[in-house]
Structure 1
Amino acid sequence: MATLRSKENVLLAARTTWFRAIITFIFLYLSSAGLILLILWRLPSKDSLQDPEGSIKQDVILKLPTSFSELRAVRHTLGLYQRQAPVHVAILLVATYLFMQVFMVPGCSFMNVLAGSLYGVPIAVPFIALASTLGSSGSFWLSKLLLKDIVVSLFPARIATFSKAVAAQKAQLLPFLIAVRMAPVLPSWFVNLAAPILQIPFRHFVISTAIGLQPTNIVFVQAGASLGSLHSWRDLYGPRSITLLTLCLLAALLPIFVRRHWLKVKPGLLPSRVSSDKEVLQHTEDIKLLVVESPRKVVMVNGGLRLPVSKSLGRQEVFR
């Protein structure tokens, strides 16, 4: 009876934690969106906008683009605003980019192309590098402080697989994280959310993000110079772009190859520690089992197994 009541208390506490986290997330999301709306409201009026010929030739559109036709329309509108309020437009772009990165809103690739079209490669590349690193860092801390239990419960298999990969590359963690950022294997938003759960050091996260995201960002920024000729994502990946991305990925993988095959550094044998409000670390003679407790299930990271809530490990119950 005591064990059953203890389990019920744990589930109730977990549901309460989820509810508070979701409410806090919604509050932060709406507050950030309200700030962007305030910046938009402070832009010059549409009636004051004129193109170089003295009249507006197309509709004024300001929205998050979902296609290249919408992106060209937004680019035209921002170009008109930029002539009257360049600083205001720059603040709007920074705020929008950070909002999309932190809250995992799709469309950051369009923003990269847009920045390249507005400012050119020399200015847009460092701008996007800084904004993408800051935005990813914001998502990292959002997961660490608020969403980690929710992420573990929603993506148990992905977390377990990524944990095994991180553990196997502990001796060369930074090059591995850079390669993960460059390779189209895991979505960027998932890496941002999973990194604090796997307790990847924040300095490693920032450095790998600042380096690993840039080859793709540069390709998109360069594409902004020819925005009028873009009709699909296939138009972005010419032979030159593919060669650049491939060379950057090989450069990131080279330290891993050298350490493993030339310096004979063995990969780590234990999974990286997973952070959660409820966690149990079990010890045996030859291996450690790390389990993460969620409201509905327990995830055993080592081996990628998922155990039911009532499962016992050894002599000690999961619920304490």
Structure 2
Amino acid sequence: MEGGRNQSNSGNGTVNNVVRSGFPLSFWEAAVGAFVILGFAVGLLLVYLTLPPSDYSFLKLPRNLGELQILRDHLETYTSDYTAQVLVGYCVVYVFMQTFMIPGTVFMSLLAGALFGVFKGVALVVFTATAGASSCFFLSKIVGRPLVFTLWPDKLVFFQEQVARRRERLLNYMLFLRLTPTLPNTFINVASPIVDVPYHIFFLATVIGLIPAAYITVKVTLFLISLYLRATKLWGH
């Protein structure tokens, strides 16, 4: 009990020792974040410029099955003719969203299943989600400490205590976190480097932990799309 209390006090001390200002990032930290955003923007622009002239008003994040089906129908042609561009564009968007904690990656996972099927879709989701989580990990290692202390001080103290307590079997604990909703994945990505989770542990837990969720997401997507198409035909008649 005393050891746990000391750890908690130490964690709270760490949080309290962080000097907060109106804006939690320093100039150089904000500059690094802006540079990363610019890099993603340039990547997306290059992908867009390599696609043939067309009406791309359909390119938006789907919010329901109908929009997902419309996006899939449009992208299927481009995927067969411009596979590399579609894959690169998909990866850049997914990694960008994961890096900067932008909601909507679940719909990107649904799109992967709709476009590429079960096995290719699962592989693509696991790859991009792991790349995005890794990007978030390293960006947080550089500039994320003030943000995490500001946004999630209590969760950070809890996470720090648990990591310290389970240091010898840390991979098992990180796998448990990836497979259960104990802590949000976004928080895990950002906080792991701050509480000294080694990257190889973070990487392995992310890859292995994402496979079941990715498989279920892709399978459910294909099932729902088949139901949607059947319902559309039925109502059409």
TM-score scaled by length of structure 2:
0.79
Q: Is the 8 A contact 1:60 1:77 kept in 2?
A: no
Judging changes above 3 Å, is the alpha-carbon distance between structure 1 residues 45 and 160 closer, same or farther for their aligned structure 2 residues?
same
Residue aligning to 1:211:
208
1:72-111 superposed matches below 5 A: 72-111=69-108
Q: Is the 8 A contact 1:33 1:99 kept in 2?
A: no
CA distance in 1, matches of 2:89, 2:32: 24
Judging changes above 3 Å, is the alpha-carbon distance between structure 1 residues 134 and 11 closer, same or farther for their aligned structure 2 residues?
closer
CA distance in 1, matches of 2:74, 2:103: 21
Amino acid of the structure 2 residue aligned with 1:213: L
Judging changes above 3 Å, is the alpha-carbon distance between structure 1 residues 136 and 76 closer, same or farther for their aligned structure 2 residues?
same
- Decide which moves more: 185-194 or 26-35: 26-35
Q: Is the 8 A contact 1:178 1:209 kept in 2?
A: yes
Please tell me whether residue 26 in structure 1 is matched to residue 3 in structure 2.
no
Percent of counterpart pairs with the same letter? 34
Residue aligning to 1:248:
none
Give the superposed CA RMSD.
2.5
CA distance in 2, matches of 1:176, 1:11: 31
Please list every run of 5 or more consecutive structure 2 residues that lacks an aligned counterpart in the other structure. 1-17, 229-237
Residues 26-64 of structure 1 show CA distances to partners (whole Å, capped at 9, x for unaligned) of 3322331232133123212227xxxxxxxxxxx950112
Q: C-alpha displacement at 1:154, in angstroms? A: 2.4
Judging changes above 3 Å, is the alpha-carbon distance between structure 1 residues 119 and 164 closer, same or farther for their aligned structure 2 residues?
same
Residue aligning to 1:293:
none
Number of paired residues?
Answer: 211
Q: C-alpha displacement at 1:128, in angstroms? A: 1.7
Q: Is the 8 A contact 2:20 2:146 kept in 1?
A: no
Q: Is the 8 A contact 2:29 2:142 kept in 1?
A: no
Residue aligning to 1:197:
194
Judging changes above 3 Å, is the alpha-carbon distance between structure 1 residues 156 and 40 closer, same or farther for their aligned structure 2 residues?
same
More helix by share: 2
Please tell me whether residue 173 in structure 1 is matched to residue 170 in structure 2.
yes
Structure of larger gyration radius: 1
Residues 111-167 of structure 1 show CA distances to partners (whole Å, capped at 9, x for unaligned) of 111111111112122222222111111100000012222212321111011112222
CA distance in 1, matches of 2:116, 2:43: 24
Q: C-alpha displacement at 1:219, in angstroms? A: 0.7
More strand by share: 1
1:1-320 superposed matches below 5 A: 18-46=26-54, 61-228=58-225
Judging changes above 3 Å, is the alpha-carbon distance between structure 1 residues 184 and 17 closer, same or farther for their aligned structure 2 residues?
closer
Judging changes above 3 Å, is the alpha-carbon distance between structure 1 residues 88 and 24 closer, same or farther for their aligned structure 2 residues?
same
Please list every run of 5 or more consecutive structure 1 residues that lacks an aligned counterpart in the other structure. 1-9, 48-58, 232-320
Judging changes above 3 Å, is the alpha-carbon distance between structure 1 residues 27 and 172 closer, same or farther for their aligned structure 2 residues?
same
Judging changes above 3 Å, is the alpha-carbon distance between structure 1 residues 67 and 19 closer, same or farther for their aligned structure 2 residues?
farther
CA distance in 1, matches of 2:108, 2:66: 14
Residues 211-248 of structure 1 show CA distances to partners (whole Å, capped at 9, x for unaligned) of 112111111111232342578xxxxxxxxxxxxxxxxx
CA distance in 1, matches of 2:177, 2:19: 35
1:44 partner SS: coil
Judging changes above 3 Å, is the alpha-carbon distance between structure 1 residues 36 and 22 closer, same or farther for their aligned structure 2 residues?
same
